[in-house]
Protein backbone atom coordinates (compact mmCIF):
# COMPACT_ATOMS: atom_id res chain seq x y z
CA UNK A 1 0.00 0.00 0.00
CA UNK A 2 1.51 3.36 -0.99
CA UNK A 3 0.79 6.86 0.21
CA UNK A 4 -1.77 7.45 -2.54
CA UNK A 5 -3.99 4.52 -1.60
CA UNK A 6 -5.82 3.13 1.38
CA UNK A 7 -5.68 4.65 4.81
CA UNK A 8 -2.42 6.51 4.19
CA UNK A 9 -4.08 8.46 1.39
CA UNK A 10 -6.52 9.84 3.95
CA UNK A 11 -3.72 11.79 5.63
CA UNK A 12 -4.54 14.64 3.27
CA UNK A 13 -7.97 14.93 4.93
CA UNK A 14 -8.29 17.70 7.50
CA UNK A 15 -11.69 16.51 8.75
CA UNK A 16 -11.37 15.72 12.47
CA UNK A 17 -14.29 13.29 12.15
CA UNK A 18 -12.22 11.10 9.82
CA UNK A 19 -9.32 11.27 12.25
CA UNK A 20 -11.55 10.10 15.07
CA UNK A 21 -13.05 7.23 13.12
CA UNK A 22 -9.72 5.95 11.80
CA UNK A 23 -8.12 6.56 15.19
CA UNK A 24 -10.64 4.20 16.78
CA UNK A 25 -9.83 1.47 14.25
CA UNK A 26 -6.08 1.93 14.65
CA UNK A 27 -6.32 1.77 18.44
CA UNK A 28 -8.47 -1.35 18.26
CA UNK A 29 -6.14 -3.12 15.81
CA UNK A 30 -3.05 -2.11 17.77
CA UNK A 31 -4.53 -3.42 21.00
CA UNK A 32 -5.72 -6.77 19.63
CA UNK A 33 -2.31 -8.43 20.00
CA UNK A 34 -2.01 -7.44 23.67
CA UNK A 35 -5.54 -8.22 24.86
CA UNK A 36 -5.86 -10.17 28.15
CA UNK A 37 -2.23 -9.50 29.07
CA UNK A 38 -1.29 -8.10 32.46
CA UNK A 39 0.70 -4.85 32.37
CA UNK A 40 3.90 -6.66 33.29
CA UNK A 41 3.46 -9.02 30.32
CA UNK A 42 3.30 -6.25 27.73
CA UNK A 43 6.52 -5.36 25.89
CA UNK A 44 8.33 -2.07 26.56
CA UNK A 45 6.67 1.07 25.22
CA UNK A 46 8.85 1.34 22.12
CA UNK A 47 7.95 -2.22 21.10
CA UNK A 48 4.19 -1.68 21.10
CA UNK A 49 3.46 -1.96 17.38
CA UNK A 50 1.02 -3.64 15.03
CA UNK A 51 3.73 -6.25 14.40
CA UNK A 52 4.84 -7.44 17.81
CA UNK A 53 8.30 -8.72 18.83
CA UNK A 54 8.95 -12.27 17.65
CA UNK A 55 9.38 -13.47 21.23
CA UNK A 56 6.02 -12.08 22.35
CA UNK A 57 3.06 -14.45 22.48
CA UNK A 58 0.31 -12.50 20.76
CA UNK A 59 -3.30 -12.71 21.81
CA UNK A 60 -5.48 -13.90 18.91
CA UNK A 61 -2.34 -15.37 17.32
CA UNK A 62 -4.26 -16.61 14.29
CA UNK A 63 -5.46 -13.11 13.40
CA UNK A 64 -3.31 -11.08 11.02
CA UNK A 65 -1.64 -7.97 12.43
CA UNK A 66 -3.57 -4.78 11.74
CA UNK A 67 -7.02 -6.37 12.07
CA UNK A 68 -9.63 -4.44 14.04
CA UNK A 69 -11.94 -6.49 16.24
CA UNK A 70 -15.46 -6.25 17.64
CA UNK A 71 -14.91 -2.65 18.76
CA UNK A 72 -14.25 -1.39 15.25
CA UNK A 73 -16.84 -3.61 13.57
CA UNK A 74 -19.64 -2.58 15.93
CA UNK A 75 -18.69 1.08 15.55
CA UNK A 76 -18.93 0.61 11.80
CA UNK A 77 -22.36 -1.01 12.19
CA UNK A 78 -23.53 2.08 14.05
CA UNK A 79 -22.01 4.48 11.54
CA UNK A 80 -23.42 2.59 8.55
CA UNK A 81 -26.87 2.58 10.12
CA UNK A 82 -26.74 6.31 10.84
CA UNK A 83 -25.57 7.15 7.33
CA UNK A 84 -28.13 4.93 5.61
CA UNK A 85 -31.10 6.04 7.72
CA UNK A 86 -30.23 9.66 8.42
CA UNK A 87 -31.14 9.04 12.06
CA UNK A 88 -30.62 6.49 14.80
CA UNK A 89 -32.93 3.57 14.03
CA UNK A 90 -32.56 1.17 16.93
CA UNK A 91 -34.10 -1.73 15.02
CA UNK A 92 -31.81 -1.25 12.03
CA UNK A 93 -28.74 -0.84 14.22
CA UNK A 94 -29.58 -3.93 16.26
CA UNK A 95 -30.13 -5.91 13.05
CA UNK A 96 -26.66 -4.90 11.87
CA UNK A 97 -25.12 -5.99 15.16
CA UNK A 98 -26.74 -9.38 14.69
CA UNK A 99 -25.50 -9.55 11.08
CA UNK A 100 -22.02 -8.81 12.36
CA UNK A 101 -22.18 -11.63 14.88
CA UNK A 102 -23.82 -14.17 12.59
CA UNK A 103 -22.35 -13.28 9.19
CA UNK A 104 -19.21 -11.23 9.86
CA UNK A 105 -20.84 -8.07 8.46
CA UNK A 106 -18.20 -5.27 8.41
CA UNK A 107 -15.64 -7.48 10.16
CA UNK A 108 -12.25 -7.85 8.51
CA UNK A 109 -12.33 -11.01 6.37
CA UNK A 110 -15.88 -11.51 7.77
CA UNK A 111 -14.14 -13.12 10.76
CA UNK A 112 -15.73 -12.48 14.17
CA UNK A 113 -13.01 -13.55 16.58
CA UNK A 114 -13.67 -11.47 19.71
CA UNK A 115 -17.12 -11.16 21.28
CA UNK A 116 -17.88 -9.96 24.80
CA UNK A 117 -19.93 -12.36 26.90
CA UNK A 118 -22.55 -9.75 27.75
CA UNK A 119 -22.90 -8.70 24.12
CA UNK A 120 -23.21 -12.30 22.91
CA UNK A 121 -25.96 -13.01 25.44
CA UNK A 122 -27.86 -9.86 24.51
CA UNK A 123 -27.65 -10.52 20.79
CA UNK A 124 -28.83 -14.06 21.41
CA UNK A 125 -32.02 -12.61 22.91
CA UNK A 126 -32.31 -10.32 19.91
CA UNK A 127 -32.06 -13.32 17.59
CA UNK A 128 -34.91 -14.92 19.51
CA UNK A 129 -37.15 -11.95 18.77
CA UNK A 130 -36.83 -9.79 21.90
CA UNK A 131 -37.06 -6.04 21.32
CA UNK A 132 -33.64 -4.30 21.18
CA UNK A 133 -34.90 -2.01 23.95
CA UNK A 134 -35.09 -5.04 26.25
CA UNK A 135 -32.13 -7.25 25.31
CA UNK A 136 -29.34 -5.40 27.12
CA UNK A 137 -28.12 -6.42 30.56
CA UNK A 138 -29.68 -4.14 33.17
CA UNK A 139 -28.02 -5.12 36.46
CA UNK A 140 -25.12 -3.31 38.09
CA UNK A 141 -22.90 -6.22 37.07
CA UNK A 142 -23.76 -5.57 33.43
CA UNK A 143 -21.60 -2.49 33.02
CA UNK A 144 -18.92 -3.73 30.68
CA UNK A 145 -17.48 -1.40 28.07
CA UNK A 146 -19.22 -2.99 25.08
CA UNK A 147 -21.50 -0.07 24.28
CA UNK A 148 -19.10 2.80 24.97
CA UNK A 149 -16.51 1.19 22.67
CA UNK A 150 -18.77 1.63 19.64
CA UNK A 151 -20.57 4.92 20.27
CA UNK A 152 -18.02 7.40 18.87
CA UNK A 153 -19.56 7.44 15.36
CA UNK A 154 -22.70 8.89 16.91
CA UNK A 155 -20.75 11.94 18.08
CA UNK A 156 -18.93 12.20 14.74
CA UNK A 157 -22.17 12.07 12.74
CA UNK A 158 -24.56 13.98 15.00
CA UNK A 159 -25.35 17.59 14.12
CA UNK A 160 -28.22 17.96 16.59
CA UNK A 161 -28.35 19.47 20.06
CA UNK A 162 -26.41 18.14 23.04
CA UNK A 163 -29.72 16.91 24.45
CA UNK A 164 -30.47 14.94 21.29
CA UNK A 165 -26.95 13.49 21.27
CA UNK A 166 -27.34 12.32 24.86
CA UNK A 167 -30.68 10.67 24.14
CA UNK A 168 -29.24 8.85 21.13
CA UNK A 169 -26.17 7.80 23.11
CA UNK A 170 -28.49 6.18 25.65
CA UNK A 171 -30.54 4.54 22.92
CA UNK A 172 -27.63 2.92 21.06
CA UNK A 173 -26.48 1.30 24.31
CA UNK A 174 -29.78 -0.46 25.05
CA UNK A 175 -29.45 -3.55 22.80
CA UNK A 176 -26.46 -4.80 24.81
CA UNK A 177 -25.96 -2.59 27.91
CA UNK A 178 -29.12 -1.20 29.50
CA UNK A 179 -28.03 -0.24 33.02
CA UNK A 180 -28.17 3.50 33.73
CA UNK A 181 -24.40 3.56 34.37
CA UNK A 182 -23.64 2.37 30.85
CA UNK A 183 -26.11 4.84 29.37
CA UNK A 184 -24.54 7.73 31.29
CA UNK A 185 -21.03 6.60 30.33
CA UNK A 186 -21.95 6.57 26.63
CA UNK A 187 -23.58 10.00 26.88
CA UNK A 188 -20.57 11.41 28.72
CA UNK A 189 -18.13 9.97 26.19
CA UNK A 190 -20.09 11.38 23.25
CA UNK A 191 -20.10 14.83 24.85
CA UNK A 192 -16.35 14.56 25.44
CA UNK A 193 -15.90 13.71 21.76
CA UNK A 194 -18.06 16.68 20.82
CA UNK A 195 -15.84 18.83 23.00
CA UNK A 196 -12.75 17.67 21.14
CA UNK A 197 -14.50 18.32 17.82
CA UNK A 198 -15.22 21.88 19.00
CA UNK A 199 -11.61 22.33 20.18
CA UNK A 200 -12.67 23.09 23.74
CA UNK A 201 -9.81 23.63 26.17
CA UNK A 202 -11.15 21.00 28.61
CA UNK A 203 -13.60 18.64 26.88
CA UNK A 204 -13.85 16.43 29.97
CA UNK A 205 -14.98 19.09 32.43
CA UNK A 206 -17.26 20.59 29.81
CA UNK A 207 -18.94 17.21 29.20
CA UNK A 208 -19.40 16.69 32.93
CA UNK A 209 -21.09 20.05 33.42
CA UNK A 210 -23.20 19.81 30.28
CA UNK A 211 -24.46 16.31 31.10
CA UNK A 212 -25.61 17.41 34.55
CA UNK A 213 -27.44 20.36 32.98
CA UNK A 214 -29.18 18.10 30.47
CA UNK A 215 -30.35 15.60 33.07
CA UNK A 216 -31.57 18.46 35.28
CA UNK A 217 -33.78 19.55 32.38
CA UNK A 218 -35.54 16.14 32.29
CA UNK A 219 -37.83 16.52 35.32
CA UNK A 220 -40.42 14.04 34.04
CA UNK A 221 -38.04 11.36 32.80
CA UNK A 222 -38.59 8.20 34.89
CA UNK A 223 -34.84 7.55 35.16
CA UNK A 224 -33.70 11.15 35.67
CA UNK A 225 -32.65 10.59 39.28
CA UNK A 226 -30.88 7.35 38.35
CA UNK A 227 -28.94 9.17 35.64
CA UNK A 228 -27.89 11.94 38.02
CA UNK A 229 -26.85 9.35 40.60
CA UNK A 230 -24.78 7.46 38.03
CA UNK A 231 -23.13 10.70 36.93
CA UNK A 232 -21.99 11.08 40.53
CA UNK A 233 -20.65 7.51 40.44
CA UNK A 234 -18.69 8.39 37.29
CA UNK A 235 -17.33 11.53 38.94
CA UNK A 236 -16.34 9.63 42.05
CA UNK A 237 -14.64 6.76 40.27
CA UNK A 238 -11.06 6.58 41.63
CA UNK A 239 -9.15 9.35 39.91
CA UNK A 240 -5.91 8.70 41.70
CA UNK A 241 -3.42 5.96 41.01
CA UNK A 242 -2.93 4.10 37.77
CA UNK A 243 -5.88 3.00 35.62
CA UNK A 244 -6.25 -0.77 35.26
CA UNK A 245 -7.43 -1.02 31.66
CA UNK A 246 -10.18 -3.47 32.57
CA UNK A 247 -13.45 -4.12 30.78
CA UNK A 248 -15.45 -2.12 33.36
CA UNK A 249 -16.96 0.87 31.59
CA UNK A 250 -15.83 3.48 34.13
CA UNK A 251 -12.29 2.12 34.19
CA UNK A 252 -12.22 2.33 30.40
CA UNK A 253 -13.23 6.00 30.47
CA UNK A 254 -10.75 6.79 33.24
CA UNK A 255 -7.99 4.93 31.38
CA UNK A 256 -8.75 6.93 28.23
CA UNK A 257 -8.67 10.22 30.09
CA UNK A 258 -5.28 9.46 31.64
CA UNK A 259 -3.77 8.25 28.36
CA UNK A 260 -4.92 11.41 26.60
CA UNK A 261 -2.60 13.43 28.83
CA UNK A 262 0.17 12.36 26.44
CA UNK A 263 1.24 14.73 23.68
CA UNK A 264 1.04 12.62 20.52
CA UNK A 265 -1.27 10.01 19.05
CA UNK A 266 1.49 7.41 19.26
CA UNK A 267 2.17 8.02 22.95
CA UNK A 268 -1.55 8.11 23.76
CA UNK A 269 -2.04 4.73 22.09
CA UNK A 270 0.94 3.12 23.75
CA UNK A 271 -0.01 4.42 27.18
CA UNK A 272 -3.54 3.04 26.78
CA UNK A 273 -2.15 -0.40 25.93
CA UNK A 274 0.39 -0.36 28.76
CA UNK A 275 -2.51 -0.39 31.22
CA UNK A 276 -3.00 -4.01 30.09
CA UNK A 277 -6.04 -6.30 30.18
CA UNK A 278 -8.75 -5.09 27.74
CA UNK A 279 -6.20 -3.38 25.55
CA UNK A 280 -8.12 -3.35 22.28
CA UNK A 281 -11.13 -1.60 23.77
CA UNK A 282 -9.13 0.78 25.95
CA UNK A 283 -7.09 1.78 22.91
CA UNK A 284 -10.13 2.04 20.63
CA UNK A 285 -12.01 4.32 23.05
CA UNK A 286 -8.88 6.37 23.70
CA UNK A 287 -7.59 6.61 20.14
CA UNK A 288 -10.95 7.65 18.76
CA UNK A 289 -10.61 10.83 20.82
CA UNK A 290 -6.91 11.08 20.04
CA UNK A 291 -7.71 10.90 16.32
CA UNK A 292 -9.96 13.93 16.71
CA UNK A 293 -7.39 15.78 18.81
CA UNK A 294 -4.31 15.12 16.68
CA UNK A 295 -5.99 14.54 13.33
CA UNK A 296 -5.30 11.77 10.90
CA UNK A 297 -1.94 13.38 10.12
CA UNK A 298 -0.97 12.63 13.71
CA UNK A 299 -1.47 8.88 13.29
CA UNK A 300 1.83 7.17 12.38
CA UNK A 301 1.88 6.30 8.69
CA UNK A 302 3.22 2.82 9.41
CA UNK A 303 0.13 2.03 11.49
CA UNK A 304 -2.14 3.26 8.73
CA UNK A 305 -0.22 1.14 6.21
CA UNK A 306 -0.72 -1.94 8.39
CA UNK A 307 -4.40 -1.34 9.22
CA UNK A 308 -6.63 -3.79 7.38
CA UNK A 309 -10.25 -3.70 6.19
CA UNK A 310 -10.16 -0.58 4.01
CA UNK A 311 -12.70 -2.10 1.65
CA UNK A 312 -15.26 -1.93 4.49
CA UNK A 313 -14.23 1.51 5.68
CA UNK A 314 -13.78 3.47 2.46
CA UNK A 315 -17.50 3.73 1.52
CA UNK A 316 -18.29 5.06 4.99
CA UNK A 317 -15.48 7.61 4.76
CA UNK A 318 -16.92 8.96 1.51
CA UNK A 319 -20.33 9.31 3.13
CA UNK A 320 -18.93 11.05 6.23
CA UNK A 321 -17.30 13.66 4.02
CA UNK A 322 -20.72 14.50 2.62
CA UNK A 323 -22.30 15.04 6.05
CA UNK A 324 -22.62 18.53 7.52
CA UNK A 325 -20.00 19.31 10.11
CA UNK A 326 -20.80 20.27 13.68
CA UNK A 327 -21.29 24.03 13.99
Annotated binding site: 69-71, 278, 280-281
**Distance from CA of residue 316 to its chain's centroid?**
16
Q: Which residues are annotated as a binding site for Mg(2+)?
A: 69-71, 278, 280-281
Distances (CA, A) of 86 to 12, 165, 234, 288, 319: 27, 14, 31, 22, 11
How far apart, in whole angstroms, are the C-alpha atoms of residue 68 and residue 71? 7
Residue from 253, 111, 91, 231 nearest 175 by CA: 91
- Is the distance from CB of 245 to CB of 277 less than 8 angstroms? yes
Query: 3-class SS at 248?
Result: strand
Classify residue 240 as exposed, middle or buried by CB count within 10 Å of its CB (0-12, 13-18, 19+).
exposed
Q: How far apart are CA 120 and CA 275, in angstroms?
A: 25
Q: Which residues contact 57 (CB under 8 A, 6 or more apart)?
A: none
Which residues touch 40 (CB under 8 Å, ≥6 apart)? 276
Report phi then psi at 277, rounded to 5.
Answer: 65, -110
Q: How far, in Å, CA of 15 to CA of 35, rounded?
A: 30
Amino acid sequence: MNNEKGYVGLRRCADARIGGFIGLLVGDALGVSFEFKKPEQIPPRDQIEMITPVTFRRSHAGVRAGTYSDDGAQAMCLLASLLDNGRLSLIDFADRLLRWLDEGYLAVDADVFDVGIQTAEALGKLRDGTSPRETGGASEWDNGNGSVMRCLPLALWHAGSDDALVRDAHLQSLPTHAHARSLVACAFYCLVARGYLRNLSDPWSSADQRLEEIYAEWPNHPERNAFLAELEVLRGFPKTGKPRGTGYVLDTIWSARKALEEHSFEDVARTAILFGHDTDTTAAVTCGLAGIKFGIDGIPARWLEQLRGFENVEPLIRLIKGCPRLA
